[in-house]
Structure 1
Amino acid sequence: MKIFNSVPLLLLPSIVSALPSELAEVELDTRACVSFKNPVTNVSGCCDVVTAQLFWIDIILGLGVCCPLGQVLDGFNCVAPPSNGSTCTGEPVCPHKIGTDLGIKYGHCYVLLSLNNNYLGHDSATKYVVNGENPGVVFRVCGDTTNCVTTADQYVTTNGTWYMQDQFGDPNGSGFGWLGGSGDLSIQNSSTALVMGGSTTCFGGSCAICINFPPGGAHAPCPLAPGQSHLGIAPNPNSCQNFYWQEVPCRSEK
């Protein structure tokens, strides 16, 4: 009986000493775990942000993609950062197959450069303006205004339409916004996002896309300083606004 009683006495210190570290690991796991739902698979999970990074697609709906540390989100896939600059060459996007697509992909992000080499961005408030106070707004090309997964990673066809998710959003708001409105177009919520269309063209040997707003066109609705212009809807569908499109990494919603 003495031997029997001595066993728990010998083991007790090691058991007690193990408890704090085990509890600390549980506490660390709880802090590091961020719940999310994958927008493509609709599977809910937990992203351990100690070993991975969660890229939000729609933080309000809890939609995101969890990628291992060191990888980035390309569309909806986790990939190694490009070593050859394939997603950020600075070169205008060209059609993948001339006559069938515009060269831009659903779920991918772009900045728009005007023909006079000024980026489309925001003015001091929320209006879209070329060469504004906050230029180079990053836009995600979306096939829907909910979770941006419709036809993800597919090219926008020649006669295709899309929505422009503003990855910067309202500077006084929170999260992403959408290009929309009337008159001088401005940052909107998803319910008032405008349908976009476009056609391929070429200026100075570089590919460009002339955007419109089906069934209407696009124009500069009011005069601004030289080199600047607002973006608006034109009644004439032949009127469009030319931009060079450059692909850039998408931003993670915070």
Structure 2
Amino acid sequence: MKAFYSFPLLFLPSLVSATPSDLTTIELDKRACTPFKNPLTNASGCCDIVSAQLFWVDILLGIGVCCPIGQVLEGFNCVTPSSGGSVCSGKAVCANKTGVDLGIKYGHCYVLLSLNNNYLGHDNALKYVVMGENPGVVFRVCGDTTTCTTSADQYVPVNGTWYMQDQMGDPNGSGFAWLGGAGDLNIVNSTDQALAMGGSSTCFGGNCAICITFPPGGAHAPCPLTPGQSHLGIAANPNSCQNFYWQEVSCRSENQLAECQISPSTAKSESVGYVAQV
């Protein structure tokens, strides 16, 4: 894995003495260099997308990580993907240690399947609904609402809390969003409105499930919908909860050139293909 690197100006051809081919190379380098800021060091530079690939952490803030072509981003690490870089067993997540954790991990991504086998997604607006017009929203379990690196790759403990980063986001926005709001819960773009979530391990039909709550309250369906459908809402009673089978999937990358799937797991970072500004 390459580390951060920079090219002194003396290696670049003088613009006065440069040949036409040299000037063409310089112009190509400019076009291929995508600026970004490292999420851990805040160092600014650019990613040479000819030999590397930029994975956005927050496209609005210009925060990203540069990985060599053929590698993907896990947490803030660039790694060679296994099995094509996808996580897709189709099995419901179970506790790693019964009574100790819930089986889901911080920094990992999941889709939620209701007990009547319908995925949680968006309706035709911004509300979260089972069997909606845009089902199967990918959620990243985050221990914080900034870099999503708190306790990365660790199991969520029993009585632990987390935030749900919506990897699809607001259809009218430009990046990831959060599950939050009040009443019928919906997509929120402000981290201040993101809701902390809790849950407990349950079992239905021989499959592991997690019954979600919104501490200090519970969770319920706040209004009637078509049979099979359900909105998410906060309940005053902390014992009220909504059951879902959690299936781990690859997270989504906000890559400018192509839509890729990534599988975040660790919190260490080394950017590659990076050219420091000089």
CA deviation after TM superposition for structure 1 residue 39, in Å: 2.3
Residue 147 of structure 1 is matched in structure 2 by 147
1:40 & 1:201 partners in 2: Cα distance?
Answer: 37
Change (3 A) 1:68 1:223: same
Deviation at 1:193, TM superposition (A): 0.6
Listed as ranges, the gaps of 5+ residues in structure 2 are 1-15, 257-278
Question: Residue 173 and residue 217 in structure 1: after superposition, are their counterparts in 2 closer, same or farther (change >3 A)?
Answer: same
Q: Does 1:118 align with 2:151?
A: no
Q: How many residues in Structure 1 have an aligned counterpart in Structure 2? A: 239
The equivalent of 1:56 in structure 2 is 56
2: CA distance, partners of 1:124 / 1:133: 6
Structure 1: distance between partners of 2:212 and 2:178: 16
Structure 1 counterpart of 2:98, which letter? Answer: I
Q: Is the 8 A contact 1:102 1:156 kept in 2?
A: yes
| Paired residue secondary structure (1:245) | strand
* More displaced 10-residue stretch of structure 1: 157-166 or 69-78: 69-78
Q: Distance in 2 between the 1:89 and 1:96 partners?
A: 16
Q: Is the 8 A contact 2:121 2:136 kept in 1?
A: yes
3-state DSSP class of the match of 2:19? Answer: helix
Aligned residue identity for 1:140: R
Q: Report the Cα offset of residue 107 of structure 1.
A: 1.5
Task: Report deviation, 1:118.
Answer: 0.4
Q: Higher relative CO (CA 8 A, sep ≥ 6), structure 1 or 2?
A: 2
Residues 195-232 of structure 1, C-alpha deviations (whole Å, 9 max, x = no match): 11111111122211111000000011111111100000
* Alignment match, 2:28: 28
1:17 Cα deviation (Å)?
10
Matches within 5 A, 1:103-252: 103-189=103-189, 190-252=191-253
Partner of 1:89: 89
**More displaced stretch, 82-91 vs 69-78:** 82-91
Contact 2:122 2:133 in 1 (8 A): yes
Q: What is the CA–CA distance in structure 2 between the aligned matches of 1:228 and 1:73, rounded to whole Å?
A: 35
Normalising by structure 2, report the TM-score.
0.80
Q: CA deviation at 1:34?
A: 1.7
TM-aligned CA distance change 1:74 to 1:203, over 3 Å? farther
Larger-Rg structure? 1
Normalising by structure 1, we get a TM-score of 0.87
Of stretches 162-171 and 144-153 in structure 1, the one that deviates more from structure 2 is: 144-153
- Percent of matched pairs sharing the same residue: 78
CA distance in 2 between counterparts of 1:221 and 1:196 reads 17
How far residue 75 of structure 1 moved from its aligned partner, in angstroms, is: 3.0
RMSD: 2.0
8 Å Cα contact 1:63-1:147 kept in structure 2: no
